[in-house]
Amino acid sequence: MARTSGARNADFEQRRGELLQRARARLALQTGEPPSFRELALATGVSVATLRHYFGSREGLIKALFNYYLQEGQHHLARARSAEVEGLDLEQTIKVFMQRVVRGWTQGYVGTLHRIGLAEGLRHHGTALDYLLDVLEPTLQALEVRLQAYASRGLMAECDPRHAALMLISPLLMVLLHQHDLGGTRCRPLSLESFVDEHVKVFLRAYQPIDRANCEQVAH
């Protein structure tokens, strides 16, 4: 039976995705030295030649891994960028965003990708850029879009949305690394829910819009 047009490409991409999921599981293990290309081939159940056929090199595999999960997470990113459709005020929208980051980190694959990205990126400049572009920046930029929507409507103080997004997300990422990836729960456990609540309140105090009418009344 003749192969239909495009079937080969579909099979190739499906197989590639399966290999990336297995590679992710191996790369996420904290076992000391990062696994070699040969060890990754063993973990994915194929030969080095087969792994090279799909990804070219170890760095190519890591790059493909980040891009694969970027595509998988597009619907989450679209939802993260949207502030208007949810009809939430600034406090609610920030809290919802941060709660989703926590869920993705602790219950999904987001934390794994950050762990791999940091471990691999600090060793290889090319991989560091792949991690930034396909893992860290998409989340940061989605938050920028969400915050800008509130600032443009006067519901948040005028600001550089990139600075505001970094100020909001950076402490949360540090807390997640501390608790879940570095084992902080073993020595100094922290309530993520309480942290998010307090952090949001601090952020709102810094970025609450200026009530110009009230300021003018006070001045007079």
Per-residue model confidence as pLDDT tens digits over 79-128: 888 865 567 899 999 999 999 999 999 999 999 999 999 999 999 999 99
User: What is the predicted pLDDT for the residue at 211?
Assistant: 62
Q: How many CB atoms neighbour CB 78 within 10 A?
A: 10
Is the pLDDT at 4 greater than 90? The verdict is no
Going 36 to 20 to 28 to 175, the CA torsion angle's sign is positive
3 against 113, higher pLDDT: 113
Cα-to-chain-centroid distance, residue 142: 10
Measure the CA–CA gap between 44 and 25, rounded to whole angstroms.
Answer: 9
The amino acid at residue 86 is: E
Q: Which pLDDT value is given to residue 216?
A: 42
Say what percent of the chain tops pLDDT 70: 90
Which domains, ranges and CATH numbers included, belong to the chain? 7-56 (1.10.10), 69-219 (1.10.357.10)
Give whole-number Cα distances, 150 to 136, 178, 185, 199, in Å: 22, 31, 35, 18
Q: How many Å separate Cα 183 from the centre of its chain?
A: 20
Q: Tens digits of per-residue pLDDT, 7-31? A: 557 789 999 999 999 999 999 987 8
CA separation for the pair 78, 88 (Å, rounded): 16
122-154, pLDDT tens digit by residue?
Answer: 999 999 999 999 999 999 999 999 999 999 999
Tokens 């994915």 correspond to what residue? 44
Rounded Cα distance between 118 and 210, Å, is 39
- Cβ-count burial of 181 within 10 angstroms (0-12 exposed, 13-18 middle, 19+ buried)? middle
**Rounded to whole angstroms, how far apart are CA atoms 55 and 183?**
33
Q: What is the pLDDT of residue 84?
A: 59
Four-residue CA torsion sign, 54, 59, 65, 71: negative
